């Protein structure tokens, strides 16, 4: 018999995935040997019409194909086996196959025994695992109980500590109150003593002044009295003498007259008598003139005495005035002393309030710390519970996997036994000669029976893997010309579906058990280590967060808490929190959601977009400064965003545009120079040299911005309004500092006045102008460029920092193999960072240079090197939003910020440059960080001037490397 009938129902359980005979071929195929050897020659018998005799149909159920192949449709001739002469050989072949099947059955028995042994060993292992699980569970329960007891102890200790702290707080309050009372008493005593001394001194001074004025008045009156008495007596004596002389002269004249009469009467010469009378008359006139002269002298003396009397009276009135002034000064001093006493009393009261407030804050901080410790303990307990639960789950999963493997092995053993019995029964059957006219149906591997008896490896590879796609006709013809034994696939699927074979009921891939899917990772200890590591990491993060909340105020040094508007704390890292297209979304709401992530990244300040109503949606053409409903969101959204920033210890910097402002109305001559809103300015608020808006103010102190009216900051009312607006933004809205737009348009002295009035925590100015170029290439010497920026900072009195545009421009060229540009002739960095690092805000991109504007974009492939430079060097680095969230550089930037934090780099850190040439750049920043740019062989051990031990913290190969001192 050349072939025998194999009913399809008999092969319903024969899966081509399980081997019966291993002939060194790939595992996973079922090979059934039918007929004679592979070297037997077969003949094709033809009749006049078609083939006669039985036809052999090879049916395939490989993959999802239901194709059936018949020799009639493809033009292939069926092959008959040799007839009765060779039936005996077939019988011997069948018996040989039977003996081989028996041998295979014995092998199956041995394999079954092995499986039973494995099953027994798996049962013993399962029992051991169960005991181990119970033991581990008991240990976990005991550990949990121990942890609970320790937790109770810690809770009791914490309660005791809390009570002790409360008692200490009460005692501290009592001591503070007693101290305040004592201070008040001492202050009162000191004030009384000081005021008593002062009052006594003032009284003595007043009494001395009064006595002095009385003595001077008495002296003046005595002098006046004496002088008047002397002059009057002298005048009286002189008048008496003159009267006496006049009487004597009159008597003498009368005598002479009598003599003359007598002489006349006696006959004397009358001429002589007349002459004598005239002479006497002349003498009398002389005496009278002398008397008049004496009277004039006495009158002048009287006038002089009168004048001295008036001067004495004036001196007396001046003394009285001085006495009155002294009395007023005494009263003013008494009032001042009383005010000082009140002020000291208020100071003492405020001191007491501060002491009480500090005590309350300490109490709150202690209670908060206590609650945080309780939370950390609870988190530790929860973590222990999670660990125990995860261990139990792991053990249960392991047990379930073992049970599934046992069930699968049992089912596989049962299937193997059924297959062996079925193969034995099929091989013992003989083919009936009466069924020569019926089709023989074979349901075997791949539907290609003729290839099963061949040892060609290429054929077996084709059977094992199968064709990857439908075989085209030309390829089928070529295969037929080369391999006559290989029947090609059929394209007519409908005929294949109507064939008489029955498909094998193959299991689906997810129904077949695979040990690679169920087996746990080798080494359960590793799994436990991983789980324990996760639990420990969770505990560490919880305790770290609690410790950070507890000590966030205590950890700040004096340097960090001392804020200067030009430097902030000195360790600021600023994020520009928007780009040119952010106005298209509700940006305040989106940015508020990222506050926690920004704080965790290491950002300390966020630069927010311009808040005011603007003609341009980006906000840089402001109109009504007090209207904060912009394209980025409402004023409520802005306040919520700032509050969220403050909740995560982030500064909120407002982008204020002070150089220009858009008008609301036109003037009578059609010029837009009338402003509206709360600040309703007119043309007098616009500089007079603005060529487009007919301003009536003073000339501009800077460059002209031609797109909008330039504000005249020399006007007093303009500066007053701007200072009020900035204080409103600080106090009512919540901004912490400023980013000042286009500061080239007005003098830095006005910026100083605005900063001193608004007291920002940090301020940055945008001073951006062109750099120096030679023959189309960037010049090496950029001192003039950075000098202009330094001059503006100096004009602000150092109250504001400025963007280091010089460093950005130099990095554009330096990072393309021109690292020598990063050092100046003095060995310092070549930007503003080299001259005034504490006021230099380094950056590589912003909304103007990058984003969708792209006025001066940084080289895309050099962004990582750019951030490696600015984040490891002094100054205040500014990070662009797009790079952090849209360019996939978050991990790079976070790693560099962590290196800056660990090394303690701040805005005033020193820089020592070791190498700056075409190959690369090496510098030491501070005492604890070394960084390298470029692709050349260097490390800290090769530098003689570097001492200490250095550990590589960041390694990006040829881009950059960072080392930290151990």
Using N-to-C axis directions, what is the helix angle for 748-758 and 783-795, rounded to 10°?
50
Q: How far is Cα 615 from Cα 617, in angstroms, rounded to an integer?
A: 6
- Name the DSSP letter for residue 649: T
Q: Which helix (H) or strand (E) holds 287?
A: helix 270-428
Q: Of 766, 845, 882, 959, which is the active-site residue? A: 766
Judge whether 766 counts as a catalytic residue.
yes
State the Cα angle at 541 between 539 and 542, rounded to 5°: 65
217: which 2 tokens?
Answer: 């008045």
DSSP-assigned beta bridge partners for residue 922: 915, 932
Is 783 catalytic? The answer is no
> Nearest-CA neighbor of 392 among 141, 148, 122?
141
Question: Which residues in 666-679 are b (16+ Cβ under 10 Å) and which e?
Answer: eeeeebbbbbeeeb
Q: How far apart (Å, rounded) are the C-alpha atoms in residues 620 and 656?
A: 9
**DSSP string computed for 407-436:** HHHHHHHHHHHHHHHHHHHHHH----GGGT
> Of the candidates 650, 501, 483, which has an alpha carbon nearest to the alpha carbon of residue 577?
650
Helix axes 863-870, 890-903, angle to 10 degrees: 20
Kindly report the CA angle at 764 between 758 and 770, in degrees rounded to 5? 140
Contact 382/147 with Cβ under 8 angstroms? Answer: no
CA gap 628, 444 in Å, rounded: 81
Q: What is the dihedral of CA 318, 320, 322, 328, to 10 degrees?
A: -140
Contact 38, 54 (CB under 8 A): no
133: CB partners within 8 A, 6+ apart? 392, 395, 399
Long-range contacts, stretch 36-39, CB < 8 angstroms, 24+ apart: 36/2, 36/81, 36/86, 36/89, 36/90, 36/93, 37/93, 37/453, 38/453, 38/454, 38/455
SS3 category, 680: coil
* CB-CB contact of 807 with 842 (8 Å): yes
Distance CA 711, CA 698 (A): 10
Length of the chain: 966
3-state secondary structure of 791: helix
- Catalytic member of 373, 741, 804, 882: 741
Instruction: Please list the active-site residues.
Output: 741, 766
């Amino acid at each position: 018999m050349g072939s025998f009938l194999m009913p399809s129902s008999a092969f319903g359980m024969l899966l081509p995935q399980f081997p019966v005979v291993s002939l060194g071929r790939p595992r996973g195929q079922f090979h059934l040997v039918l007929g004679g050897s592979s070297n037997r020659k077969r003949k094709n018998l033809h009749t006049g019409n078609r083939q006669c005799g039985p036809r052999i149909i090879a049916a395939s159920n490989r993959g999802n194909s239901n194709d059936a192949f018949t020799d009639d449709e493809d033009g292939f001739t069926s092959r008959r086996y040799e007839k009765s002469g060779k039936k005996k050989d077939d019988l011997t072949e069948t018996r040989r196959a039977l003996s081989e099947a028996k041998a295979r059955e014995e092998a199956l028995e041995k394999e079954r025994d092995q499986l039973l042994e494995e099953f027994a060993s798996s049962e013993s292992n399962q029992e051991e695992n169960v005991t181990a699980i119970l033991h581990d569970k008991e240990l976990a329960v005991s550990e949990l109980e121990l942890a609970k007891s320790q937790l109770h102890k810690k809770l009791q200790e914490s309660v005791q500590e809390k009570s002790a702290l409360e008692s200490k707080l009460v005692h501290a309050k009592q001591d503070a109150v007693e101290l305040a009372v004592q201070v008040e008493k001492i202050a009162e005593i000191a004030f009384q003593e000081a005021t008593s001394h002062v009052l006594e001194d003032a009284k003595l001074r007043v009494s001395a002044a009064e006595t002095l004025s009385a003595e001077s008045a008495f002296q003046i009156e005595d002098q006046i009295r004496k002088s008047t008495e002397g002059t009057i007596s002298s005048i009286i004596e002189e008048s008496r003498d003159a009267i006496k002389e006049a009487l004597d002269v009159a008597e003498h004249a009368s005598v002479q007259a009598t003599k003359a009469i007598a002489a006349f009467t006696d006959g004397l010469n009358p001429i002589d008598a007349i002459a004598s009378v005239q002479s006497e008359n002349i003498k009398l006139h002389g005496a009278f003139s002398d008397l008049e002269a004496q009277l004039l002298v006495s009158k002048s003396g009287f006038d002089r005495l009168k004048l001295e009397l008036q001067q004495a009276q004036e001196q007396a009135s001046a003394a009285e005035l001085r006495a009155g002034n002294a009395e007023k000064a005494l009263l003013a001093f008494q009032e001042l002393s009383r005010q000082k006493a009140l002020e000291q009393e208020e100071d003492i009261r405020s001191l007491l309030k501060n002491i009480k407030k500090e005590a309350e804050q300490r109490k709150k901080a202690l209670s908060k710390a206590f609650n945080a410790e309780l939370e950390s303990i609870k988190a530790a307990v929860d973590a222990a519970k999670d660990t125990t639960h995860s261990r139990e789950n792991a053990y249960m999963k392991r047990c379930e996997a073992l049970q599934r493997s046992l069930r699968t092995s049992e089912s596989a053993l049962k299937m193997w036994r059924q297959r062996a019995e079925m193969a034995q029964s099929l091989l013992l059957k003989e083919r009936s000669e009466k069924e020569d006219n019926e089709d023989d149906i074979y349901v075997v591997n791949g539907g290609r029976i003729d290839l099963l008896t061949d040892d060609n490896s290429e054929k077996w590879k084709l059977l094992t893997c199968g064709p990857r796609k439908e075989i085209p006709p030309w390829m089928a013809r070529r295969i037929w010309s080369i391999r006559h034994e290989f029947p090609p696939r059929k394209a007519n699927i409908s005929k294949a579906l109507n064939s008489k074979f029955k498909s094998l009921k193959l299991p689906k891939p997810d129904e077949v058990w695979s040990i690679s899917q169920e087996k746990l990772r080798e080494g359960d200890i590793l799994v436990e280590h991983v789980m324990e590591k996760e639990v420990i990491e969770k505990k560490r993060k919880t305790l770290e967060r609690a410790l950070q909340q507890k000590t966030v105020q205590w950890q700040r040094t004096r340097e960090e808490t001392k804020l200067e508007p030009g430097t902030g704390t000195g360790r600021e890292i600023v994020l520009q929190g928007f780009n040119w297209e952010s106005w298209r979304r509700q940006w305040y709401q989106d940015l508020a959601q990222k506050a926690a992530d920004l704080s965790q990244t290491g950002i300390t300040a966020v630069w927010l977009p311009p808040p005011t109503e603007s003609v341009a949606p980006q906000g840089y053409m402001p109109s009504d400064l007090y209207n904060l409903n912009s394209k980025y969101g409402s004023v409520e959204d802005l306040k919520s965003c700032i509050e969220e920033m403050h909740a995560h210890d982030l500064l909120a910097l407002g982008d204020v545009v002070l150089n220009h402002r858009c008008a609301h109305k036109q003037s009578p001559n059609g010029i837009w120079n009338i402003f509206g809103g709360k600040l309703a300015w007119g043309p007098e608020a616009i500089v007079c040299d603005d060529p487009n808006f007919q301003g009536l103010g003073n000339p501009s102190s800077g460059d002209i911005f031609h797109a909008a009216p330039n504000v005249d900051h020399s006007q007093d009312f303009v500066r007053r309004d701007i200072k009020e607006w900035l204080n409103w933004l600080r106090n009512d809205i919540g901004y912490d500092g400023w980013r000042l737009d286009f500061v080239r348009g007005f003098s830095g002295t006005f910026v100083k006045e605005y900063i001193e009035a608004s007291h920002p925590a940090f301020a940055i100015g945008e001073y951006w102008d062109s750099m120096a170029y030679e023959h189309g290439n960037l010049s090496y010497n950029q001192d003039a460029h950075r000098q202009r920026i330094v001059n503006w900072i100096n004009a602000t009195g150092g109250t504001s920092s400025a963007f280091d545009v010089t460093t950005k421009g130099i990095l554009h060229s330096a990072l393309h193999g021109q690292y020598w540009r990063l050092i100046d002739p003095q060995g310092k960095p070549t930007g503003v960072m080299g001259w005034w690092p504490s006021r230099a805000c380094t950056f590589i991109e912003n909304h103007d240079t990058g984003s969708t504007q792209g006025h001066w974009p940084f080289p895309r492939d050099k962004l990582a090197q750019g951030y490696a430079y600015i984040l490891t060097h002094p100054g205040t680095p500014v990070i662009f939003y797009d790079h952090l969230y849209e360019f996939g550089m978050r991990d790079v930037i976070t790693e560099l910020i962590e290196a800056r934090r660990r090394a303690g780099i701040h805005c005033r850190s020193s820089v020592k440059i070791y190498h700056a040439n075409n190959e690369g750049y090496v510098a030491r920043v501070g005492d604890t960080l070394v960084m390298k740019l470029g692709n050349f062989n260097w490390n800290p051990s090769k530098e003689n001037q570097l001492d200490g031990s250095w550990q590589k913290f960041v390694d990006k190969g040829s881009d950059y490397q960072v080392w930290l001192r151990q």
